[in-house]
Copies of this chain bind each other. A is one copy, B any other.
Amino acid sequence: MLREAQRRRLIGLEMAEALTRWGVHVTVVEMMPHILPGLFDEEVAAYLTRYIHSQGVDIMVGSRVTEIVGNDEGNVTKVMTSNTEIPSDIVLIAIGVRPNTKLAREAGLEIGKTGGIAVNEYLQTSDPDIYAGGDCVENVHLITGEKVFVPLGSTANKHGRIIANNIMGYKEKFKGVLGTGVVKVFGYNVGKTGLTEFQAREAGFDVVTTLCPATDNAHYYPTHKAVLLKLIADRKTKKVLGLQAAGLGETVKRVDVVATALMFGATVEDLPALDLGYAPPYSTAVDISAHAANVLRNKIDGVAKALTPMEVKRKIDGGDDFIWLDVRTTAEFKKERIEDPRIKLIPLGMLRQRLNELPRDKEIITFCKLSLRGYEAQTILDGEGYQDVKFMDGGLDAWPYGVADDAAASKPLLGESTISQKAA
């Protein structure tokens, strides 16, 4: 949590876009296992990575820059990383920000453990006659109660008004932040509020998550576009903990809705009850944020049982034996599919007739394109008395580890070895 700001790297990706639009070939070198680690968990980062990659940018994750090499004229020639070298004409370093607290330190003011100036809820420093706000102070995270350093223009503006009010005797408190962040990356609208799954687990929550690939408005309305949401809640209290979203479609509105709900401690039961604006150009009749919350409710109630793509991948990497049940149509399967010996295709409409093909003593993981039919398959098999059935969260649309299709061989998406092929 403490290093959230340093891990954001929003401007790095904005620059990658700007340079690409100018015709510059860009390689992003990220030390962490995936891009935007302060904003996203692995699956949403992978979804975004796939898109950025399609725009001509190479992304090398889990890769540490060890040296920037120049020539005798003082120009950069290449970047050495922990596992390769990249010929380069320009190197742009976007490694996050640290607050400039020199003045405050020299004045003897207390500096917090995040590195930002320590302030109380009235934004007074350790000297009550000196107020501080903006990108140099630390804030309270409203979900964890911890101090965080998340410098943002929106927060700085809030600070300004509150400090002015307090100087004038109005006594106003700044309650804190949710770590909300949004950014436009090529055409993708990208955002997060609250905690990521990683952050929520670090903070000790009993985490339940869902991945929802969806369209941002009615599927019959011509402007609808794809998005991926990841909603996170606490199983015990049912409180919403955070949302991540990315896609060509409208995601920022959903981030703002969940950010607003988080300020009031909303549960997964509150989100579907919201009376949000519905018309086909703007949303689906059940808004996708409500849909995601309903999936979490079903999971908490034990009706929906799921594994995340990452959990399925770990089982595969560990050599687990299970039936990986694709319940899409044969036509969909031919067009695009996961290539793995565990895969078995039984279209949902045939499932009840073909139960004899599914042993009852084996783990079954169902999926489809979005895992709506995957979930239905799970409930059908549950109803038939199968004991160990789960669906794969987010279906093929959220599966980041490569699919085979008519046009090409397998297209893996995560892992430096494959993503960075063009660069290496």
Interface residues of A (CB under 8 A from B): 10, 142, 152-158, 161, 174-184, 189, 191, 193, 252-253, 255-257, 259-264, 266, 270, 272-279, 281-283, 285-287, 294
Chain B positions within 8 Å of A287 at CB level: 154
A319 to chain B, nearest CB (A): 40
Chain B positions within 8 Å of A283 at CB level: 154
B183 touches A153 (CB 8 A): no
Q: Number of copies of this chain in the oligomer? A: 2
What are the 10 A-B residue pairs with the smallest beta carbon separation, nearest first? A182-B277, A154-B278, A264-B264, A253-B253, A178-B275, A260-B260, A153-B285, A184-B281, A180-B275, A157-B285
A311 to chain B, nearest CB (A): 27
Q: Chain B CB within 10 Å — which of A174, A176, A286, A294 has the most?
A: A286
Chain B positions within 8 Å of A161 at CB level: 272, 294
B256 touches A277 (CB 8 A): yes
Chain B positions within 8 Å of A156 at CB level: 285
Q: List 23 A-B contacts (CB under 8 A).
A: A152-B278, A154-B275, A154-B276, A154-B278, A154-B283, A154-B285, A155-B275, A157-B285, A161-B294, A180-B275, A180-B277, A181-B277, A183-B279, A193-B277, A255-B277, A256-B256, A256-B276, A259-B275, A259-B276, A260-B261, A260-B274, A263-B273, A264-B264
Measured in the bound complex, the distance between the Cα atoms of B273 and A177 in whole Å is: 9
- Contact partner of A277 (CB less than 8 A), chosen from B175, B191, B285, B286, is B191
Measured in the bound complex, the distance between the Cα atoms of B178 and A181 in whole Å is: 28
B253 touches A256 (CB 8 A): yes
Chain B positions within 8 Å of A182 at CB level: 277-279, 282
A298 to chain B, nearest CB (A): 11
Measured in the bound complex, the distance between the Cα atoms of B413 and A369 in whole Å is: 51
A274 touches B286 (CB 8 A): no
A286 touches B256 (CB 8 A): no
Q: Closest B-chain residue to A254, C-beta based?
A: B256
Chain B positions within 8 Å of A259 at CB level: 274-277
A276 touches B180 (CB 8 A): yes
